[in-house]
Every structure is written in C-alpha cells, then in structure tokens.
C-alpha cells in the first residue's frame, strides 16, 4: 500500500474516532520497528484547531505467535486513559484490517526508549531508580479501579488465564511435550487466592515500557492485558531473560510494589507466578515454533524457540521444590 493510501485511510479513521478534532491532516507516515508481532508507523496528526498529536499506528501481522484481540486492547486502554496509569491514549481502532492489512490501533506516541538491552545497560544507580519507578507504575496499574472503569472479568479470572494458555499450548504443540502438559495440571491444582484482583498488563518487562534515564514514560503493548493476580506481572518482569534483578532484587521490587499499591502479595503467590511465567514463556515458544513450522512467519527468531522450553521446565521444577504446596488456597 502506498503512503498516500495509508494516510487517507488513517485520516478517515482518526476523524471517525475523534469527532472533537474536526478535520485531520497527516503529512507523512514513517515505518518504525513494532516488535515481532506488529507493523508500526509513526506520524503526526494535525487538527483544524491547530492541535498536533504525535501518533503511532500498530497493525497485527499474519502468523504472529501470540493471539490477541485488538478491540479488547483498545477497550482496556480507553478504560485506563485519564486514570493515572502510564499508558498511551487510545485514538483509533480498526478491527477490519482496512487501514493496514491487519487489525490495528492508533495510539498517542510517547517519548522515551524501549530497548531492553539499553535498559539493562543503564548505570547501576540509574537502573535502580528506573526499576523503582517501574515498581511505582506497576503499583498504580494494579491499584487502578478497573471495575469502576467498566472493565469485566471472567468468572474465575485467575484459572481462566491458565486455561487460556493451556488451550494455546494444546492447539500449537508440535509434539506431546508431556512435562509441560503436566505443569499446566500442576498450575490448575495449585491456584492461589490473589491478594486483590487487578488489571494485569500481561507482558510487562524491559522492552515493553519507555524510559528516559530513570523515568518511566509509558507502559506499552497491552495486547495481553487481563484481570488477574498482581503477582503475575511482578513475576514476569523478573523472568531471567530480561530481569532487572541486577538493579533491584525481586524481593525489593515486591516490597516497593506492596508499599505503593497497598496490595500485600503473599510470597507463595509470587513463587506460583514465577512458575506460571515459565510455563507461559514455554507456551509462547511452542506457538512461535508452530507458527514457523506452518510457514506463517519467516522470522528466524521463531525458528528455534522450542529450544527455550527445557530451561523453562527446569526452572518450574526448581520453584515447585522451593515451597510447600499442600493445602494451597485452590481458588479454582
């Protein structure tokens, strides 16, 4: 599609979804890196009243390894906007793929850098301050009144999330992977009671937030957001591959989060979600391998993702052995 055609469709979308802006003018669009699962274009939208809005268009690509519902992501962002959560303003939704070929969102473009590699290279004192800031923003998210904002949860959201991932695993696995299947059974048999049901980002980690020095300027990529246990986000932030542990310990982060959010997450929930995180990461790896095997993607980062599974399973066994699980709360 030419830039001219894309601009015309974008203009129409923004005028439809932001009637208060009046006529919109977009001079140019610039392709930018949108991650493994989305195409992205940066642009500025000018309104008749002289307003200028820095925007980004994010469109799903075919063969992505994490299924997501763009309309749900848009609804979550709209619910949060204006409530103090560090998330981009949602400005446009195209569920049909008319604008860019796949379901797409237009979001306010926030300043800052997203690179996980660069984040983890910050000087220790800056990294500590930035990770503490991340604990603060995570706490604000988890304290957000999602019910008051009109969001809904599944009847048993914690178990529902596990079942969703298990369903993805079963439908994408290229071989039985019995050890991973057994871990899903373990997760379902040991579901803890959350200290609070919160809006969970679902993929919060270095690489999915913007930072400028020690300041966190925006939490990105809300396509896996759902209602669940705050321990889930904390555990995911501290997965070994991208963990900010060298700046602030896992326990230190959890303590800051508890103090700032007022949510006292039990130790066992945190360990449980470290196990869940590994199972989820392994499942994403299973999906990525299946996507590559099916010819749905040529992204070579997916080709060998199955090799990530053994380490995830090994860590699960280690964490299962680290706690006494009999008499678990069994929220299920």
Partner 1 sequence: MLRPSPGDLLKGVRAGLQSSVLSALPKGAAQRQLKAALHLLERLERSWDLMGAHLAADNRDIETTLGAIDDAGLQTQLAEAPGAAPSGFNCPQLRAAAARNIQLQTVLDAYAARHNAPEVEALLRRMAARDSILIGDTLP
Q: Which residues bind partner 1 (CB under 8 A)?
A: 175-179, 181-182, 185, 299-301, 303-304, 307, 309-311, 313-314, 317
Looking at residue 132, the DSSP 8-state letter turns out to be: H
Residue 313 C-beta: closest distance to partner 1, Å: 5
The answer to whether the CB of 132 falls within 8 A of the CB of 119 is: no
Of 73 and 166, which CB lies nearer to partner 1 in the complex structure? 166
Of 34 and 192, which CB lies nearer to partner 1 in the complex structure? 34
Counted residue by residue, the chain has a size of: 332
CA–CA gap between residue 43 and residue 211 (Å, rounded): 20
Of 153 and 159, which CB lies nearer to partner 1 in the complex structure? 159
CA–CA gap between residue 233 and residue 144 (Å, rounded): 14
Of 155 and 176, which CB lies nearer to partner 1 in the complex structure? 176
Q: What is the per-residue DSSP string for 2-41?
A: -HHHHHHHHHHHHHHH-GGG-SEEEEEEEEE---SSEEEE
Residue 224 C-beta: closest distance to partner 1, Å: 22
Of 258 and 328, which CB lies nearer to partner 1 in the complex structure? 328
Residue 185 C-beta: closest distance to partner 1, Å: 7
Residue 162 C-beta: closest distance to partner 1, Å: 15
Residue 302 C-beta: closest distance to partner 1, Å: 8
CA–CA gap between residue 173 and residue 306 (Å, rounded): 10
Residues 312/317/322/323 CA torsion (nearest 10 deg): 110
């Amino acid at each position: 599609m030419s830039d001219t055609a894309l601009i015309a469709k974008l203009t129409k979308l923004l005028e439809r979804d932001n009637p208060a802006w009046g006529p919109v003018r977009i001079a140019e669009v610039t392709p930018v890196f949108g991650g493994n699962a989305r195409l992205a274009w940066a642009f500025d939208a000018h309104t008749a009243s002289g307003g200028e809005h820095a925007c980004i268009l994010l469109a799903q690509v075919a063969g992505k390894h994490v299924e997501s519902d763009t309309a749900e992501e848009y609804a979550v962002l709209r619910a949060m906007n204006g409530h103090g959560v560090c998330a981009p303003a949602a400005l446009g939704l195209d569920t049909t793929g008319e604008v860019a070929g796949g379901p797409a969102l237009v979001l306010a473009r926030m300043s800052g850098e997203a690179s996980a590699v660069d984040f983890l290279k910050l000087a220790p004192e800056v990294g500590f301050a930035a990770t503490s800031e991340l604990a603060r923003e995570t706490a604000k998210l988890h304290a957000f009144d999602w019910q008051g904002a009109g969001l809904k949860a599944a009847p048993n959201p914690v178990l529902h999330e596990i079942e969703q991932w298990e369903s993805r695993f079963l439908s994408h696995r290229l071989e039985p992977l019995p050890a991973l299947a057994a871990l899903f059974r373990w997760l379902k048999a040991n579901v803890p009671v959350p200290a609070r049901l919160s809006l969970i980002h679902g993929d919060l980690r270095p690489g999915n937030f913007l930072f400028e020095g020690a300041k966190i300027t925006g939490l990105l990529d809300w396509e896996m957001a759902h209602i669940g246990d705050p321990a889930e986000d904390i555990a995911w932030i501290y997965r070994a591959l991208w963990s900010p542990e060298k700046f602030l310990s896992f326990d230190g982060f959890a303590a800051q989060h508890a103090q700032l959010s007022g949510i006292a997450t039990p130790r066992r929930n945190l360990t449980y979600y470290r196990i869940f995180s590994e199972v989820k990461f392994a499942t994403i790896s299973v999906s990525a391998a299946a996507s590559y095997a099916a010819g749905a993607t040529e992204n070579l980062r997916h080709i060998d993702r199955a090799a990530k599974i053994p380490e995830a399973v090994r860590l699960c066994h280690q964490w299962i052995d680290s706690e006494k699980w009999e008499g678990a709360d069994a929220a299920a």
